[in-house]
Amino acid sequence: MSAQIIDGKAIAAEIRSELAKQVAELAAQGKTPGLDVILVGEDPASKVYVRNKERTSKEIGINSTVHRLPEETTREELLGLIEKLNNDPTVHGILVQLPLPGHLDEEEVINTISPEKDVDGFHPINAGKLLIGDDDAFVACTPAGVLELVKRTGVPIQGKNVVVVGRSNIVGKPAAVLFLREHATVTVCHSRTQDLPAECRRADILIAAVGRPEMIKKEWIKPGAIVIDVGINRVDGKLVGDVDYENVKEVAGYITPVPGGVGPMTIAMLLRATVQAAARS
């Protein structure tokens, strides 16, 4: 038996069309959602992602502005732009695409974004609110997308073993907290984990966010498990995930492809957060 493929691209499109209706309602009240994205430098992957964010925002009626700044942008220029957007009532969401060039301090930049406009959910106020269970928080878009994909399988999460491989602040850690909130039993693995295959084999829901091409093997998968592949790795000009997809899909119950899985959901969740921010304003 072969796994059911979770079509993130189609689910993201469905969510966007629901959001388009909400955007129209907000626009009728004079509250057209505004999303400003800041891209510093020329990272090729970042350019693709930002272009997708701009295009999908516009498609559903969000007022999207991309600020494309040169690599040599100074700290003062970047923080100045963020302050300006913080004070602009037509801007509901602010996102600074990561990674930033090395001379800019990501933590300082994120801390400068007003928490009420931090649609990425990266500001310590939002990360902290997620941790303590405050529902007002903006939740990091990639983990929010992962949860949405799992929910749409219809498989109950409560009581299940969720194993998250990776503990970054933008994916692994918030994913673990989100699934804990759904009453799963959560294990977080990382580069010092002693027996990663054994930990993975206990997973009813396995979330891979490592950044190592096809690292997660068929033998590590509990038959019937839900496998969510967050990884995006470029190998010989091709995109591959952290999961050995062709083999793992023979054992898993559900699996996300790369591309067409989590990536489009990250953007859909960003648009959802922007609509939320505008509705609250």
Q: Are 47 and 258 in contact (CB under 8 A)?
A: no
Pick 170 or 184: Cβ nearer ligand LUD: 170
Pick 205 or 210: Cβ nearer ligand NAP: 210
User: Is 22 a residue of the active site?
Assistant: no
User: Is 97 a residue of the active site?
Assistant: yes
Q: In what order do the strands lie in the sheet with 34-40?
A: 63-69, 34-40, 93-96
Count of residues that bind ligand LUD according to CB under 6 A: 18
Q: Are 210 and 244 in contact (CB under 8 A)?
A: no
User: Is 117 a residue of the active site?
Assistant: no
Q: Is 210 in the site for ligand LUD (CB under 6 A)?
A: no
- Rounded CA-CA distance 77/70 in Å is 11
Tell me which of 82, 232, 243, 275 binds ligand LUD, using CB under 6 A. Answer: 232
Pick 211 or 281: Cβ nearer ligand NAP: 211
Pattern 152-181, ligand NAP, x by CB under 6 A: -------------xxxx-xxx---------
Count of residues that bind ligand NAP according to CB under 6 A: 25
Select which of 22, 31, 36, 97 is catalytic.
Answer: 97
- Rounded CA-CA distance 206/267 in Å is 21
Q: How far is the CB of 212 from ligand LUD (least distance, A)?
A: 16
- Rounded CA-CA distance 65/181 in Å is 34
Q: Give the contacts of 241 (CB within 8 A, at least 6 positions apart).
A: 208, 213, 214, 229, 230, 231, 232, 233, 256, 257, 258, 261
Q: Which does 233 bind (CB under 5 to 8 A by kind): ligand NAP, ligand LUD, none?
A: ligand NAP
Pick 147 or 230: Cβ nearer ligand NAP: 230
Pattern 18-47, ligand LUD, x by CB under 6 A: ------------------------------
Q: Which residues pair with 206 in a beta bridge?
A: 163, 227
Q: Are 227 and 212 in contact (CB under 8 A)?
A: no
Site for ligand NAP in 211-270 (CB under 6 A): 211-212, 230-233, 262-263, 266
Q: Is 120 in the site for ligand LUD (CB under 6 A)?
A: yes
Select which of 118, 120, 204, 244 is catalytic.
Answer: 120
- Rounded CA-CA distance 205/222 in Å is 9
Select which of 22, 36, 53, 117 is catalytic.
Answer: 53
Q: Are 198 and 218 in contact (CB under 8 A)?
A: no
Listed residue (85, 147, 144, 142) closest to 116, CA to CA: 85
Instruction: Find the helix packing angle between 8-28 and 44-59, rounded to 10°.
Output: 50
Pick 50 or 230: Cβ nearer ligand NAP: 230
Q: Are 56 and 271 in contact (CB under 8 A)?
A: yes
Task: Pull the structure tokens for residue 107.
Answer: 């933590």
Q: Which residues bind ligand LUD (CB under 6 A)?
A: 48-49, 52, 95-98, 120, 141, 232, 239, 258-260, 263-264, 266-267
Q: Which residues are designated catalytic?
A: 53, 97, 120
Q: Which residues bind ligand NAP (CB under 6 A)?
A: 142, 165-168, 170-172, 189-193, 196, 209-212, 230-233, 262-263, 266
